Structure 1
Amino acid sequence: MSLVQRIARQGKITFSAHYSALTAGSTEAPDLQPLLALVNELKSSDINLPSNPAVADITPPDSAPAAFIDILRDNHFTIAGFLLRRGSSMPIHDHPNMYGICKVLYGKVIITSFSPPKRIETSIPHSHGFSYYMAKDEGAEFFTAASPCAILTPNSKNLHTICAMEHSAFFDILGPPYNSFENRNCHYYQEVPKTTVFDQEKAKELDGVRVLKRTEQPPMFYTSVKSYRGPPVDVRKL
């Protein structure tokens, strides 16, 4: 059985159990360790991606800053791959009530994370209906293929932006997946000066906190689609 099939099978076990626990009223976090142990073994060759940054096939098609590779969609979790062109960035976005596992397969990325935002109740002239939030700054971390997975949870590092220092690819698991019917929409944010919503004195007191403005998806960020060419993932074996 291929490694990606084993990952998919463990993902089903992990997030199906989590869903059942939530349905029963539990707030306990899922046990991610068995899944993390498998994903940390993953290499670009395991999903038939070239690992040489000089190979043109590893960059998104056309001029897109990123490409999306759909590997598996399930009611309880999803698996995807992303290619990022050198110098491109995924804007700040969230994962409401979701867990995420991100494993870089080649290249180098910087992930800057924020913990879940709290809406700021304020009346700002000319705000054009935008909402503003305070979020804890969790800092920036470098990740390469040699790094362990980056992890996000509903309460920690749930928002992030990913910047590619080189042509890069990463493997991405989200559980449960985005679902507008269950209030798990993806929202985008832009960092703004604290003085946008606070006076100078209050802004100075907010050490380690960022002010984010919720926005639409930035038009300069979009993804093309690349076909998955790795070992088949048989949903009947999950």
Structure 2
Amino acid sequence: MTVSFQKAVEAAFKVFSRRNAATVTNDSLGELRINLNKVTKSDLRLDPLVLEDRIPTEQEAPVTYIRILEHKLMTIAVFVLKQGKRLPLHDHPGMFGLLKVVHGSVAIKTYTPLDPNQYPVPASLSERLANRYGRNIPVYPSRYEGNKVFSETDECCVISPNSKNIHEIHSESGTAAFLDILSPPYNHKSAEDYRPCSYYKEIDVDSQDSNIRYLVKITDPPDYWCNEAKYCGPELPVPS
């Protein structure tokens, strides 16, 4: 029932309102997660044509973006990944995120950023990159959290400002779609509250700990862009 989505949105506003300076915890996310786990593509009234299972042509966008809500507290949207396509490795600076697959399945490769003071970048890696590019390249140590498949029957996955905050999402077998809630939203405009989306690639390096990985920022990947489809789902309970 669409009421599950509406209840999820109500719970999201409640938990992300920061009333009384309350912090967001796993417990405070409980109501949101319970209702989000019940949301289906029928609740969102997704157009079956958008979910058509076929390989897109080179001229077609690999991802369709369905804008549901843009608010100062959060953004809510659906991403539709065409067969064989991906959201490149990207970050969520200072943000909480909840992702619920509503069609097909996706593989999510996840990393947690690490403190470079506690996990220093190998000097040999910094030197190799400087020689290759003719300048010092910032390197970001991260803990590799694995590559896990999520489908419609799985519960939502959660990221936080300090955990699993960088990930790459692939359509697993055919076209896939997921509902995405991010709080606070990305912000490219305000110098006081600057949260851009950055893209990364992993650099191969020998390490004593195979779960410690090293990432560098890259420009927007040329194989990733979006078209947009209209949201046709239920009205949302947005507080005034």
Is the aligned partner of 1:218 residue 2:225?
no
- The CA deviation string for residues 146-166 of structure 1, in whole angstroms up to 9 with x for no partner, is 000011111111100001022
Which residue of structure 2 lines up, in the alignment, with residue 206 of structure 1? 209
Alignment of 1:167-186 (within 5 A): 167-180=175-188, 181=190, 182-186=193-197
Structure 1 residue 76, shift from structure 2 partner? 1.0
In the TM superposition, 1:112-127 aligns within 5 A as 112-118=109-115, 120=121, 122-123=126-127, 124-127=130-133
Residue of structure 1 in register with 2:17 after alignment: 16
Indicate the RMSD between aligned Cα atoms, in angstroms.
2.3
Structure 1 stretch displaced more, 73-82 or 3-12 = 3-12
- Report the Cα distance in structure 1 between the residues aligned to 2:23 and 2:82, rounded to whole angstroms: 38
Which residue of structure 2 aligns with residue 197 of structure 1? none
Which moved further from structure 2: 146-155 or 112-121? 112-121
Partners of 2:50 and 2:194 lie apart in 1 by 36
Partner Cα separation in structure 1 for residue 230 and residue 8 of structure 2: 19
Partner of 1:199: none
CA distance in 1, matches of 2:115, 2:219: 18
Deviation at 1:207, TM superposition (A): 2.3
CA drift of 1:65 comes to 0.7
User: Which residue of the other structure, out of 139, 144, 147, is the alignment partner of 1:132?
Assistant: 139
Counterpart code for 2:10: R
Which structure is higher in helix share? 1
Equivalent of 1:85 in 82, 87, 107: 82
Gaps of 5+ in 2: none
Residue identity opposite 2:198 in structure 1: H
| Alpha-carbon distance between aligned partners in 2 of 1:129 and 1:9, rounded to the nearest angstrom | 46
Alignment of 1:1-238 (within 5 A): 2-17=3-18, 21=21, 29=25, 31-49=28-46, 55-59=48-52, 63-118=60-115, 120=121, 122-123=126-127, 124-127=130-133, 130-165=137-172, 166-180=174-188, 181=190, 182-194=193-205, 203-236=206-239
Distance change >3 Å, CA 211–CA 229, structure 1 → 2: same
**1: CA distance, partners of 2:230 / 2:214:** 38
Query: Within 2, Cα distance between the matches of 1:109 and 1:161?
Result: 10
Matches of 2:18 and 2:31 in 1, distance apart? 13
CA contact (8 A) 1:40 1:148 kept: yes
SS of equivalent to 1:114: strand
Q: What SS does the corresponding residue of 1:58 show, helix, strand or coil?
A: coil
Once residues 24 and 35 of structure 2 are traced to their aligned partners in structure 1, the CA distance between those partners, rounded to angstroms, is 22
Report % sequence identity: 32
Name the SS for the 2:131 alignment partner: coil
Q: What letter is aligned with 2:3? A: S
Count, aligned residues: 220
On the 8 A contact 1:39/1:149 being kept in 2, the answer is yes
Aligned residue type for 2:215: L
The letter of the residue matching 1:47 is L
Aligned letter for 2:9? A
Alpha-carbon distance between aligned partners in 2 of 1:215 and 1:204, rounded to the nearest angstrom: 22
